[in-house]
Amino acid sequence: MKVNRENRRIGKDVANLLHEAMKEKRLTCGLTAAVRQLELDPYKVAFCVLPQLTDGDRANHIHTVLLQAFCYERNIAIIQVENIEGLRYHTRAADCSCVVVLHPWEKGRDMCLEDHLLRRIHDFTSILQAQPIFKLPMK
């Protein structure tokens, strides 16, 4: 029960981060656009949010796995969410095969939300000892 509760809390934090980043125009949505952003300047990227992989499109699966490897190499946090519908709901984007969240634009701005989320995900992952998949609230 405690794991499910923490998963929901982190899912809510991810949703809050997506809303905040959307307001500040720090989101890049879609696999192609995300790859372009990562190619231009990977150090501007704070998070890569991906929906849980399904067995459907093999080409998309291969691109996603390569994107994950690229993010791991550059210490970009990967957040996996349960489904693409949750990402669409919180980003209002048509293509949510991948969502890249950039670091805040303002120099000196406290990364409180981003840092807090990273710590919670790290702690949660160490308990599970696996890559968690978070459920985004749909309200």
Instruction: Give tens-digit pLDDT for 18-54.
Output: 999 999 999 999 999 999 999 999 999 999 999 987 7
Least confident of 33-37, 50-54, 87-91, 109-113: 109-113
CATH number of 1-128: 3.30.1330.30
Q: Is 10 exposed, middle or buried (0-12, 13-18, 19+ CB in 10 A)?
A: buried
Average pLDDT along the chain: 89
| pLDDT exceeds 80 at position 76 | yes
Q: Where are the beta strands (DSSP E) in 63-122?
A: 77-81, 99-102
Burial state string for 54-88 with b = 16 or more CB within 10 A and e = fewer than 16:
eeeeeeeeebbeebbeebeeeebbebbbebbebbb
